[in-house]
Structure 1
């Protein structure tokens, strides 16, 4: 989506093909729909709930992209985001514990189940005490950076269990979405503000407690919430409803 935001004005046309019903659907359908409107207002077209099945070309250059319904898009350049899988097959039969997807399981100091063997970065699942989660995998540079810090300390004989939460952002057309926490498995969303105006805070809850927050045009809510998570100060749905202005700074000193 960042590439799609960069290309208008640099390419004759830009079309995003995706399998989901809305772009950035991990933020929820309402936010995804608002983001689609933003992109379309800048000339980006969408083919959603669609699948790219093949490419057609001539003289070594692509000319068309073929979708699952048989339709074709004229194309001179194809950018494909297909995801990744952990390159850990070489660890098979090593005795190092991995889950069925090939991710290496580590403890809060990045230690594997094998003495003196540590792992860090995108290939690991690790406990996130601040959000009371076990065996999470978060493929983001911030987490890998912290993993290295924690693993290095442990190898040097200094136990410094990981104590951080994810915080990331994306910038498109001069608009920034901020996000903190880990919203996997949320069962409720409370939104303050007006999503279509790209001025909102979205609280993702699980069993009545906030586990992640996304915001747009409402700084510094996410930055403050990252500190709330680290401080282990639970925020409930009732707390959100009693704080319509989304001012959480005082929560840290409460």
Structure 2
């Protein structure tokens, strides 16, 4: 998708082919995936499909044949096939790896072998904000945080990893910022509207905000990240209060059992952590 965004103004047409139902389905969720399909410009989407054949003439690509039978003219083909860890050289060693062959480390980025550390895309590590669940996150921001923690612990300055995943992506000419770890979210509390190209999505799991994504709502996502990195919980009630009371862009009214407007949820800082433009 990032490549497609870059090429929007440099080509006459762009076709995106994906095996999932929606773009960004596994990273930003179905809601933002659906929004992506509406940001057309000169991009066509063929989702839930696969390439079965590439046809060319004189060594140059000319057509792409899909599993669905569609044939798409093409001058340039860019293929994204996913990644797997380059850890074959560690097989047979004493270093513990998970079932996908990522190296398992503790909160100090230490492997199970004394004085051997691992950082970056190869590491599976306990994410503090996800209750120390072991995760693998392939973003440079997290790799940068890993490197700092490894260096400190190598010189016996014991320091635990405590970093909230944060990244941004260009979505067909628009920059979306994302913070947190949203896997397993069950609900989204939305501030703003997709169709207005201005929104803040707060991802909820077990009545807590576990991630946020924003478009044209700076610096809200950064504020969420700052709150999460301190270990302070953002409750679903706080998210709904932000949505419907503090900054009303949506016509949503929260009702208590006696049908009166709700009081603000208990908060230690009166939502000063969240700044919305």
User: Considering the TM-score relative to the shorter chain, is it more than 0.5?
Assistant: yes
Q: Secondary structure at the match of 1:151?
A: helix
* 1:9 to 1:181, Cα distance in 2 relative to 1, 3 A: closer
Deviation per residue, 1:183-240 (Å, 9 max, x gap): 0111222112111112111111111111101111111111011110111111111111
The match for 1:36 is 37
The match for 1:106 is 105
Q: Hey, what's the Cα distance between the residues in 2 that align with 1:232 and 1:102?
A: 30
Matches within 5 A, 1:4-153: 4-25=4-25, 26-38=27-39, 40=40, 42-153=41-152
Contact kept? 2:5, 2:173, Cα under 8 Å = no
Q: Hey, what's the Cα distance between the residues in 1 that align with 2:216 and 2:159?
A: 35
Contact kept? 1:224, 1:249, Cα under 8 Å = no
Q: Report the number of matched residues.
A: 250
Contact kept? 2:28, 2:213, Cα under 8 Å = yes
Unaligned runs of 5+ in 1: none
- Give the aligned CA root-mean-square deviation in angstroms: 1.8
Contact kept? 2:127, 2:162, Cα under 8 Å = yes
Contact kept? 1:221, 1:248, Cα under 8 Å = no
Q: Secondary structure at the match of 2:221?
A: helix
Matches within 5 A, 1:227-246: 227-244=226-243, 245=246
How far residue 24 of structure 1 moved from its aligned partner, in angstroms, is 2.0
Unaligned runs of 5+ in 2: 248-268
Contact kept? 1:55, 1:65, Cα under 8 Å = yes
Q: Hey, what's the Cα distance between the residues in 1 that align with 2:44 and 2:144?
A: 36
Q: Secondary structure at the match of 1:223?
A: helix
Asked if residue 201 in structure 1 is aligned to residue 218 in structure 2, the reply is: no
Contact kept? 2:36, 2:171, Cα under 8 Å = no
Q: TM-score, normalised by structure 2?
A: 0.85
Q: Hey, what's the Cα distance between the residues in 2 that align with 1:129 and 1:73?
A: 46
How far residue 10 of structure 1 moved from its aligned partner, in angstroms, is 1.9
Q: Hey, what's the Cα distance between the residues in 1 that align with 2:73 and 2:172?
A: 25
Deviation per residue, 1:91-122 (Å, 9 max, x gap): 11201110110010001111100111111110
* 1:9 to 1:221, Cα distance in 2 relative to 1, 3 A: closer
How far residue 136 of structure 1 moved from its aligned partner, in angstroms, is 0.8
